[in-house]
């Protein structure tokens, strides 16, 4: 059973400055719910009950959000506004939040490693909250991935096709198709030049990782952008045949970019109020 979900949330979100000067980018709302709220809902739906958040300086709003606000609760109790807190109350009552700080921005691999004391030696999920994933007609992406994990019992990464010209923005995988939408990954490279990309299959911010990943991250040298990359640690697992790439069902918006954020907002607005 996968019970814990790690949320790397220490990044600066510079593309949204000045908003992200004092507001964590994970707190930017798609209509009424912050990005991280949707990520936590997705993890809960997938059966996880411990949310391990890797924060950094200036990210206290995240902890406050998942805590009780006595003053507000008191003020709106019994009023017409009270139902607006139903969703967040459900989250507070259904799971435990643990936090640790990443002191220096040394990359996604380093952020995952910082979460080791919160995770321990068990398989766990990772959600990058600014990769906003929605599946209208069935299971959320993480729930789909847990099913894949239960079958193959190795690391699972969410992948999707992107235009070849965009491959430089992602971790790109190479692999053998072993079933519908499922690949056994043989190689991967973080943010390759377009001409070096081994395919147009990009890693999306949804992972299920086996705990040996921590040891592998410790052995990884700084890679793309001079940072410790999770992709480089996963590549070692992949070379042993222990990584599955899963083309998930649903849509994904890059809410780390202004265009993606606006598209996600419009998409959710059109889906209707009950979705936000």
Nearer to ligand G1P by Cβ, of 140 and 223: the residue is: 223
Shortest approach of ligand G1P to residue 151 CB, angstroms? Answer: 24
Nearer to ligand G1P by Cβ, of 47 and 250: the residue is: 250
What are the angstrom distances between the C-alpha of 49 and each of 25, 42, 43, 45, 117? 23, 11, 8, 9, 17
Strand-pairing partners, residue 165, are none
Nearer to ligand G1P by Cβ, of 35 and 204: the residue is: 204
Query: Considering only 79-87, 136-144, 200-208, 212-220, which stretch makes contact with ligand G1P by CB under 6 A?
Result: 200-208
Size of site (CB under 6 A) for ligand G1P:
13
Nearer to ligand G1P by Cβ, of 95 and 162: the residue is: 162
Binding track, positions 53-92, relative to ligand G1P; x by CB under 6 A: ----------------------------------------
Between the two ends of the chain, the Cα-to-Cα distance in Å is 29
Kind and range of the H or E run holding 39: helix 35-45
State how beta strands 182-190 and 243-247 pair.
antiparallel
- Residue carrying structure tokens 């070096």: 196
Nearer to ligand G1P by Cβ, of 226 and 272: the residue is: 226
Please tell me whether residue 228 binds ligand G1P under the rule CB under 6 A. Answer: no
Query: Which residues, in sequence order, are CB contacts of 264 under 8 Å at separation 6+?
Result: 30, 132, 253, 255
Q: How far is Cα 54 from Cα 7, in angstroms, rounded to an integer? A: 6
Please tell me whether residue 108 binds ligand G1P under the rule CB under 6 A. Answer: yes
Nearer to ligand G1P by Cβ, of 95 and 223: the residue is: 223
Shortest approach of ligand G1P to residue 91 CB, angstroms? Answer: 24
Strand-pairing partners, residue 25, are none
Please state whether the peptide bond connecting residue 18 to the residue before it is cis, i.e. omega within 30 degrees of 0.
yes
Q: How far is Cα 260 from Cα 262, in angstroms, rounded to an integer? A: 5
Binding track, positions 161-190, relative to ligand G1P; x by CB under 6 A: ---------xx------------------x
Q: How far is Cα 190 from Cα 167, in angstroms, rounded to an integer? A: 9
The binding site for ligand G1P (CB under 6 A) comprises: 108, 128, 131, 170-171, 190, 202-205, 229-231
């Amino acid at each position: 059973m996968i019970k814990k979900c790690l949320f790397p949330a220490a990044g600066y979100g510079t593309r949204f400055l000045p908003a992200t000067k004092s507001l964590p980018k994970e707190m930017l709302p798609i209509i009424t719910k912050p990005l991280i709220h949707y990520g936590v809902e997705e993890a809960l739906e997938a059966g996880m009950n411990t949310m391990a958040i890797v924060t950094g300086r200036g990210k206290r709003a995240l902890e406050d959000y998942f805590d009780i606000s006595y003053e507000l609760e008191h003020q709106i109790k019994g009023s017409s506004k009270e139902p607006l807190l139903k969703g967040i109350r459900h989250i507070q009552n259904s799971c435990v939040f643990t936090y640790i700080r990443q002191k220096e921005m040394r990359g996604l691999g380093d952020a995952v490693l910082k979460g080791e004391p919160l995770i321990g030696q068990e398989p766990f999920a990772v959600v990058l909250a600014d990769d906003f994933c929605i599946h209208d007609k069935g299971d959320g992406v993480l729930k789909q991935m847990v099913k894949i994990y239960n079958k193959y019992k190795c690391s699972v990464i969410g992948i999707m096709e992107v235009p070849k010209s965009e491959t430089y923005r992602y971790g790109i995988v190479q692999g053998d198709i072993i079933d519908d939408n499922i690949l056994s990954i043989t190689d991967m490279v973080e943010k390759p030049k377009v001409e070096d990309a081994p395919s147009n299959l990009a890693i999306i911010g949804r992972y299920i990782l086996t705990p040996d990943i921590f040891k592998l991250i410790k052995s990884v040298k700084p890679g793309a952008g001079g940072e410790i990359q999770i992709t480089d640690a996963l590549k070692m697992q992949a070379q042993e045949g222990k990584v599955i790439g899963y083309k998930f069902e649903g849509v994904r918006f890059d809410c780390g970019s202004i265009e993606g954020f606006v598209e996600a907002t419009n998409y959710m607005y059109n889906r209707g109020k009950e979705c936000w």
